[in-house]
Amino acid sequence: MECSIIANKNFSKGTVDPRLFSSFVEQLGRAVYGGVYEPGHPLADSDGFRTDVMDLVKALSVPLVRFPGGNYVSNHTWEDSVGPVDERPVRLDLAWSTLDPNLFGIKEFISWTKKVGTEPMMAVNLGTRGIEAARNLVEYCNFPKGSTLSDLRRSHGSQDPYDIKMWCLGNEMDGPWQVGHKSAGEYGSLAAEVGKALKLFDPTLELVVCGSSNAEMPTFPQWEETVLEQSYEVVDYLSLHCYYRNDENDFLTFLASSVGMDAFIEGVVHVCDCVKAKKRSKKTIYLSFDEWNVWFHSKGKDRQQPKWIIGPQLLEDIYTFEDALVVGTLLNSLMRHCDRVKVACLAQLVNTIAPIMTETGGPAWRQTIYWPFYYASKYGRGEILDLRFSSNSYECKQYGTVPYADPLMVYHPENGELDLFLVNRSPLETLTVNLDLSGFGEHVEVLEHIVLNHDNLKAVNDKEHPDEVYPQVLEGESLFSTDGNLWKGKVLPASWNLFRFTTTCLNRE
Ligand code: AHR
């Protein structure tokens, strides 16, 4: 099994927007109660935030965290989640059949984002509510002082505005499961009017309009076209959501999920640009892939969860090693489309379909999928190279011809570093990598090789074995043999790899 890659610093696909490594905390299951927030936990701080969870979040360097939903937002009354905590009402969340105590509201979320060093990305309810509630929420959050709602915020203890820049105009409004589900025409016209009101308040706000809940929706891509025809000039981003699954236990098809993600992104780009052409617009719509992950393990268990309690164990997928490989390829796909995908949120962050798991009252640990996300966030912030590449491939019913190798290269002109993310999709065969780096001058060296590998595809990290799937860092030059700048290396079957090189090329001249 072989692949050949030619990389040249002068051929770039674009620079990654750091917001590609964002995440999502929904008022769902134990994401908040028992995850982010657990007063009484031995490691909780004075705000009730779990410091062990905060440390794991900080290490991921997520630039944005989306909140408060998700499906939750479509029946959410934001006024319930502000003000003195002991006066806040307990509500029924119809999206997840859960009791919502409103103890962790907007002020608490903002304090938490500051402590973990991230920025909020808020969603407004366009399911049961509309322009007035959205306008009021933005005024409450962002107006400095001297208006009724900004002064209300100040009376609630937040003197400074929260200054939330990114706003999602509802969530998955194409989905029949959504409280307040709408047709594309209804939603497009509402989103355009809400967007107009928010931009009248502050034209620098960045607005995300809902695209389809996934590419299999019967209304995709007509939904995107209709919605954009109405809202094009007022919005900045169109959302994409997609979750990948392995119900059939078919490794090769599952590992090809990123080919589906590539096609989804490229299809949505075409629709955006078609509407742009129809409107003779100068403006380009960018993409916010604000929900993506593997999600299927917990579906059966969720049906047995008790309803109308606080913090039920919902969507608690326990991720396997093979899920981590898929997440690695999905990250490659997002980075490869950095010219149009500016924001992406791994859904979600803690406990619910998350890279971080906790036991209520107990420890926190990293799931397998934590690792590819950690390294992509750390080393993926650079220029994505437009590779010339060939590889042995396989045929798969769902996705067609799929290369066994999935490479992505990031060049960092500021220090000359070059990173190769590479997944070997073959479960059985070692992959020989032929890498032509002649476009990088003579002084190229391998810094390190980080590998995520396990002999059991179904291996998981759990409370007892939190580091069962753990990256190994291999140092030294034995990894690649070199003939000038033609490098030859090997990667293990079913492995995620990061090769880091140093070069003396400090710019693209
Ligand atoms: O992330 C879990 C759920 O998936 C979100 O609430 C919803 O937007 C999507 O269907």
CB of 208 within 8 A of CB of 168?
Answer: yes
pLDDT of res. 474: 82
pLDDT of res. 481: 76
Instruction: Write down the pTM of the prediction.
Output: 0.97
**What are the E-state strand segments in 380-463?**
383-385, 388-391, 393-396, 400-403, 405-412, 417-424, 431-439, 445-452
Is the pLDDT score of 477 beyond 80? no
pLDDT of res. 153: 98
Phi, psi of 181, deg, nearest 5: -50, 145
Q: Quote the percentage of the chain above a pLDDT of 70.
A: 99
Phi, psi of 198, deg, nearest 5: -65, -35
Average pLDDT score over residue span 382-395: 97
CB of 151 within 8 A of CB of 129?
Answer: no
Structure tokens at 84: 């003195």
Atom of ligand 1 nearest to the CA of 315: 2
Give pLDDT tens digits for 410-432: 999 999 999 999 999 999 999 99
Is the pLDDT score of 182 beyond 80? yes
172 annotated active-site: yes
Give pLDDT tens digits for 284-332: 999 999 999 999 999 889 999 999 999 999 999 999 999 999 999 999 9
Is the pLDDT score of 509 beyond 70? no
Mean pLDDT of the chain: 96
How many Å lie between the centroid of ligand 1 and the Cα of residue 70? 5
Is the pLDDT score of 369 beyond 90? yes
Q: Cα angle at 398 between 338 and 213, to 5 degrees?
A: 55
Pocket around ligand 1 at a 6 A CB cut-off: 26, 69-71, 171-172, 213, 291, 347-348
Give pLDDT tens digits for 232-276: 999 999 999 999 999 999 999 999 999 999 999 999 999 999 999
Alpha carbon distance 111, 162 (integer Å): 10
| Nearest residue to 120 (alpha-carbon basis) of 163, 56, 61 | 163
How many Å lie between the centroid of ligand 1 and the Cα of residue 297? 15
Alpha carbon distance 501, 411 (integer Å): 10
What residue owns the CA closest to ligand 1's atom 8?
70
pLDDT of res. 126: 98
Q: Quote the percentage of the chain above a pLDDT of 90.
A: 92
Strands 495-502 vs 417-424: parallel, antiparallel or unpaired: antiparallel
206 annotated active-site: no
Average pLDDT score over residue span 463-476: 91
Atom of ligand 1 nearest to the CA of 348: 1
Is the pLDDT score of 478 beyond 70? no
pLDDT of res. 415: 93
Give pLDDT tens digits for 108-132: 999 999 999 999 999 999 999 999 9
